[in-house]
Structure 1
Amino acid sequence: MPSWEGKSKGNKLGYSIFIFILRYGGVYPAYFLLRFVAFYYFLFSWSSSKPIYHYFRDRIGYSRWKSIFSLYRNYYVFGQTLIDKIVVMADMANKFTFHFDGEHHLHEMVSGKRGGILLSAHLGNWEVAGHLFTRLETRINIVMFDGEHQRIKDYLSSVTGGRNMNIIVIKDDMSHIYAINEALSNQELVCMHADRFLPGNKTLTASLLGHDARFPMGPFLLAATFRVPVCQVFAFKESATHYHFYATEPRQYNGRRNQGIETALQDFVVQLEEKIHLYPAQWFNYYDFWE
Structure 2
Amino acid sequence: MKNETPQRGSGWSINLAINLYKIFGYKTIYYIMYPVSFFYFIFATNVKRSLNIYYQHLNITMTNKIYFEHLRVFAICMVDRFISKIDINDYTFEFDNEEIPTNILNNGSILLFSHFGGWASSINSANITNKINIVMQEAMMSSIKNIETNIEVKSNTHIIDLSSGTLSVSIQIANALIRNEVVAIMGDRASSEKGQIDIEFLGEMASFNKNPFQIAYKTSKPILVYFIVLKGMQEYKVEWLKIDMDKSLNEKEAIIQSLNEYTKQYEKIIRMYPNQWLNFYNFWNK
Q: With structure 1 as the length reference, what TM-score do the two structures score?
A: 0.89
Matched position secondary structure for 1:271 = helix
Superposed CA offset, 1:34-91 (max 9, x none): 21221111111111221112212x11222353xx321111111111011122221112
* 1:267 alignment partner in structure 2: 261
Match of residue 192, structure 1, among 185, 203, 207 = 185
* 2:84 alignment partner in structure 1: 88
Tell me the CA shift for residue 266 of structure 1. Answer: 0.9
Tell me the CA shift for residue 21 of structure 1. Answer: 0.7
The CA distance in 2 between the partners of 1:73 and 1:273, in whole Å, is 20
The CA distance in 2 between the partners of 1:34 and 1:137, in whole Å, is 31
Quick check: 1:232–1:271 contact (8 Å CA) kept in 2?
no
* 2:122 alignment partner in structure 1: 129
The CA distance in 2 between the partners of 1:12 and 1:275, in whole Å, is 30
Amino acid at match of 1:132: S
CA gap of 1:166–1:102, structure 2 versus 1, over 3 A, is farther
CA gap of 1:14–1:272, structure 2 versus 1, over 3 A, is same
Correspondence 1:180 to 2:173: yes
Correspondence 1:287 to 2:281: yes
Matched position secondary structure for 2:112 = strand
Equivalence map 1:1-291=2 (5 Å)? 2=2, 4-56=3-55, 58-65=56-63, 68-91=64-87, 94=90, 96-110=91-105, 113=107, 115-133=108-126, 136-171=128-163, 173-174=165-166, 175-198=168-191, 200-254=193-247, 255-291=249-285
Quick check: 2:133–2:157 contact (8 Å CA) kept in 1?
yes
Quick check: 1:223–1:264 contact (8 Å CA) kept in 2?
no
The CA distance in 2 between the partners of 1:47 and 1:231, in whole Å, is 33
Quick check: 2:5–2:281 contact (8 Å CA) kept in 1?
no
Quick check: 2:229–2:236 contact (8 Å CA) kept in 1?
yes
Quick check: 1:7–1:147 contact (8 Å CA) kept in 2?
no
Gaps of 5+ in 2: none
Quick check: 2:213–2:255 contact (8 Å CA) kept in 1?
yes
Matched position secondary structure for 2:133 = strand
Matched position secondary structure for 1:142 = strand
Q: Could you tell which deviates more after superposition, 99-108 or 40-49? A: 99-108
Q: Could you tell which deviates more after superposition, 231-240 or 146-155? A: 146-155
The CA distance in 2 between the partners of 1:100 and 1:140, in whole Å, is 19
The CA distance in 1 between the partners of 2:128 and 2:211, in whole Å, is 26
Matched position secondary structure for 1:290 = coil
Give the alignment's Cα RMSD to 1 decimal: 2.1
Tell me the CA shift for residue 201 of structure 1. Answer: 3.7
CA gap of 1:222–1:122, structure 2 versus 1, over 3 A, is same
Number of aligned positions between the proteins = 283
Superposed CA offset, 1:225-268 (max 9, x none): 22211121111011223211122234234232112211221111
The CA distance in 1 between the partners of 2:36 and 2:266, in whole Å, is 28
Gaps of 5+ in 1: none
Superposed CA offset, 1:10-33 (max 9, x none): 332222111101111122211222
Quick check: 1:126–1:245 contact (8 Å CA) kept in 2?
no
Query: Identity over aligned residues, as a percent?
Result: 24
